[in-house]
């Protein structure tokens, strides 16, 4: 009797595993250099996996991430998190009003190198790097850009990170958005660095009105719940 | 120093295959020219051009500066119509202002 029950349990688990498996979405974090992609990837991992685990290192030197890094097995469960507006004065959630969603999303996060059309080793020397080191970094950065582009073939959705203190209408942003639209890949734009005094997320909303734009501060963890909700809604 | 500007008609661009087009643009830019494409490049072609550029970046050629208008949606939102794209060597061209319907670029001889 007991063994029959146990067999049925195994069978039901097997059926569930085969036919009702939770799909894992592969989500790429894309954007220009220094937009805060690694900071965002680290924030997601700290929140949902392990607060002591980092996917990469963030510094002020551009192209710090020169290899795409994938972290699997992340479960975003927005039901278990309270929804708050961390910055009531700016009221960023009003920009995503009516779009609240609850749910669970199993995903792999891919932190990608920053996309750029030019990489000049002199730029790294301005941050104090020796000439040889700057040249090596520039070479690795070009390889990183190619790797980030290649990854586009393997991802199910992207979080495009833009710096809210900068002009969003750059060609790399336009190219990424255009490519995702052509492929029909879901896209969320995260307007990062909303905590800075000169941040203007509205400029990003005006530039890309056809896509959801969520103002966040990946560094300070502000308005992250709105981003997780949108991810759970769009990438499920 | 003089800077040459090549303005390429849509017919000329359309007569080329995708890779041929990108090679033509990149060769022109690596020679120090500003290339203006009347019909523009699709987002996919622009991404390919970035990839191709990165393969050829070196100490003398740090890359390209590219500006263009996003493709326009055509009938029933199905066909996308690309628009003007300007590509130049990063050493001489710098986009100083870019809006939905305005591109200002600075071209400075070395």
Q: Give the confidence band of A9 by pLDDT, cuts at 50, 70, 90.
A: confident
Residues of chain B positioned with their CB less than 8 A from the CB of A138: 57
Domains and CATH numbers, chain A: 23-234 (3.40.50.300)
pLDDT of residue B101: 80
Residues 6+ apart with CB under 8 A from A22: A104, A106
Q: Residue B53 contacts by C-beta under 8 Å, 6 or more apart in sequence?
A: A117, A118, B26, B63, B64
Grade residue A68 by pLDDT with cuts at 50, 70 and 90.
Answer: very high
B99 touches chain A (CB under 8 A): yes
The domains found in chain B, sorted by start residue, are 5-107 (3.30.110)
Interface test with B, best of A32, A66, A117, A206 (most B CBs within 10 A): A117
Residues of chain A in contact with residue B46, where contact means CB-CB under 8 angstroms, are 171, 175, 178
Low-confidence ranges of chain B (pLDDT < 50): none
User: For A83-105, what is each residue's pLDDT tens digit?
Assistant: 443 333 444 444 444 445 567 88
SS3 of residue A63 by DSSP: coil
Contact residues, chain B, for A149 at CB < 8 Å: 47, 50-51
Mean pLDDT rounded to a whole number for chain A: 85
Quick check: A119 and B42 CB within 8 A? no
- In degrees, to the nearest 5, what angle opens at C-alpha A163 toward C-alphas B67 and A139? 65
Percent of chain A with pLDDT over 90: 64
CA distance B48 to chain A (A): 9
Query: How buried is B99 (Cβ within 10 angstroms: 0-12 exposed, 13-18 middle, 19+ buried)?
Result: exposed
β-sheet bridge partners, residue B65 = B88
A134 chain-B contacts, CB cut-off 8 A: none
- List phi, psi (to 5°) of B5: -120, 125
Here the ipTM equals: 0.88
């Amino acid at each position: 009797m007991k063994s029959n029950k146990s067999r049925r349990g195994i069978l039901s688990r097997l059926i569930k595993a085969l036919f009702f498996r939770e799909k894992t979405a592969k989500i790429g974090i894309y954007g220009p250099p220094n937009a805060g992609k690694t900071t965002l990837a680290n924030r997601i991992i700290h929140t949902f996996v392990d607060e002591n685990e980092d996917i990469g290192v963030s510094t002020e030197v551009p192209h710090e991430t020169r290899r795409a890094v994938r972290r699997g097995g992340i479960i975003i469960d927005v039901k278990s998190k309270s929804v708050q507006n961390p910055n009531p004065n700016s009221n960023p959630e009003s920009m995503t009003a009516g779009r609240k969603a609850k749910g669970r999303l199993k995903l792999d996060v891919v932190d990608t190198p920053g996309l750029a059309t030019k990489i000049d080793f002199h730029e790294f020397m301005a941050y104090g790097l020796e000439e040889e080191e700057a040249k090596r970094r520039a070479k690795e950065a070009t390889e990183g850009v190619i790797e980030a582009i290649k990854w586009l073939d393997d991802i199910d959705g992207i979080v495009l990170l833009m710096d809210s203190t900068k002009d969003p209408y750059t060609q790399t942003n336009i190219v990424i958005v255009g490519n995702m639209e052509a492929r029909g890949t879901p896209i969320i734009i995260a307007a990062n660095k909303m905590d800075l005094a000169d941040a203007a997320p509205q400029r990003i909303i005006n530039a890309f009105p056809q896509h959801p734009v969520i103002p966040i501060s990946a560094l300070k963890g502000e308005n992250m719940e709105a981003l997780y909700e949108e991810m759970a809604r769009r990438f499920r | 120093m003089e800077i040459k500007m090549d303005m390429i008609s849509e017919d000329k661009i359309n007569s080329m295959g995708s890779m041929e087009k990108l090679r033509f643009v990149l060769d022109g830019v690596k020679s120090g020219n500003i290339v203006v494409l009347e019909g523009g490049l699709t987002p996919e072609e622009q991404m390919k051009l970035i990839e191709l550029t990165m393969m050829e970046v070196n100490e003398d050629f740090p890359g390209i500066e590219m500006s263009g208008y996003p493709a326009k949606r055509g009938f029933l939102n199905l066909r996308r119509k690309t628009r003007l794209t300007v590509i130049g060597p990063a050493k001489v061209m710098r986009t100083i202002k870019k809006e939905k319907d305005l591109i200002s670029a600075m071209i400075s001889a070395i």
